């Protein structure tokens, strides 16, 4: 029992570390557009994002239940060592891609790490293939949806303000970006923080510390705070990629990208689907850029990002599997 409590404590600490890293890794999602268009000073943007990340993380637990219940076939098949290995894989990948300035997906990293750790510990029977398939569909289609809806929203803005004075238009949309930045920060918190909530709740449930798979309030507060603190530290390496290397954003396109991203991500939250805010925001920026003209998007950067996305789950699954072997040996 003492060892079990110790391992539960390790899972909670690693999950909060993952949430913290997720915060500064994905800060770019919420503030890259508003910073790149100079709608907000970087320090102001980060504090706004941190605050709304926290609020968003407290509004729902549906995504947490999906992470905890739809990847593994039964909570009884998952122990603390499996969860520790999964978190190690996700944390390693997040730190590596942050260092390289690549906007990869924390969601993909966590799911990949968990799949690899479960496969090596109990085999394919430990995986809920139907649930994983549903999650994969959300992860794959969300950036494509964001790209298409980004084109639509940007074209609507073009039509509505075709005769507006460019200087006045930029000034007005720069002010509106404060609202859109808050919206994407809120939706980011509503989806991303729940992933750590799901892991911690799964550990508590499988260890018999809670009677049913419901996220305790203290878990929600811890995860929301960890993400908000991580967001407050910033993520400048990735901000440079998202904010300037995909498409040169202007205030109207920055507003359109943020508005579109927040709707797609929060829509996924309402459907209890974990999606990658990184992918959605990147898809939105590609969409608003394409609406201006297709060659305005730096497709070379976009291609590099897509390759990173495709590598995330296989690599983190391999790291999760290898980590499980090490954790099993260590404990």
Report the domain count for the chain.
1
- Can you give the pLDDT at residue 162? 85
Confidence at residue 248, expressed as pLDDT on a 0 to 100 scale: 76
How far is CA 146 from its chain centroid?
A: 15
Cα–Cα distance measured from residue 43 to residue 27, given in angstroms and rounded to the nearest whole number: 12
Q: What is the pLDDT along the chain (331 residues), one digit of tens a residue?
A: 445 578 889 999 999 999 998 887 766 666 777 877 788 887 788 888 889 989 988 988 888 888 887 888 887 778 889 999 999 999 999 888 878 777 677 888 999 999 999 999 989 988 999 889 988 888 888 989 999 999 999 999 999 998 889 889 999 999 999 999 899 889 988 988 888 998 999 889 888 888 888 899 999 999 999 988 888 776 555 555 554 556 677 889 889 999 999 999 999 999 988 888 888 888 898 899 899 888 877 777 667 767 777 888 899 999 999 999 998 887 7
pLDDT of 187:
92
Domain of residue 230 covers 2-330
């Amino acid at each position: 029992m003492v060892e079990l409590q110790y391992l539960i404590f390790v899972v909670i600490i690693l999950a909060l570390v993952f949430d913290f890293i997720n915060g500064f890794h994905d800060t770019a999602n919420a503030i890259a557009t508003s910073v790149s268009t100079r709608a907000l000073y970087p320090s102001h943007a980060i504090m706004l994002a941190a605050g709304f990340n926290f609020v968003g993380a407290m509004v729902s637990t549906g995504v947490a239940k999906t992470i905890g219940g739809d990847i593994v076939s039964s909570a009884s098949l998952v122990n603390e060592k499996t969860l520790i290995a999964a978190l190690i894989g996700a944390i390693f990948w997040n730190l590596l891609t942050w260092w390289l300035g690549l906007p990869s997906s924390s969601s993909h990293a966590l799911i990949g790490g968990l799949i690899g750790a479960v496969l090596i510990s109990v085999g394919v029977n430990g995986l809920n293939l139907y649930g994983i398939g549903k999650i994969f569909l959300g992860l794959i289609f969300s950036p494509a949806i964001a790209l298409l809806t980004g084109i639509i929203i940007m074209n609507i803005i073009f039509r509505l303000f075709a005769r507006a004075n460019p200087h006045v238009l930029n000034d007005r949309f720069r002010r509106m970006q404060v609202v859109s930045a808050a919206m994407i920060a809120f939706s980011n918190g509503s989806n991303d923080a729940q992933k750590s909530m799901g892991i911690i709740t799964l550990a508590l449930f499988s260890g018999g510390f809670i009677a049913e798979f419901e996220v305790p309030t203290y878990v929600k507060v811890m995860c929301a705070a960890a993400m908000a603190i991580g967001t407050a530290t910033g993520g400048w390496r990735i901000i440079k990629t998202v904010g300037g290397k995909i498409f040169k954003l202007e205030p109207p396109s920055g507003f359109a990208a943020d508005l579109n991203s927040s709707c797609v991500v929060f829509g996924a939250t309402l459907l209890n689907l974990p999606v990658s805010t990184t992918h959605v925001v990147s898809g939105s920026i590609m969409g608003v850029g394409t609406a201006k003209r297709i060659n305005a998007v730096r497709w070379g950067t976009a291609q590099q990002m897509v390759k990173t996305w495709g590598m995330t789950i296989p690599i983190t699954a391999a790291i999760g599997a290898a980590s499980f072997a090490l954790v099993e040996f260590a404990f």
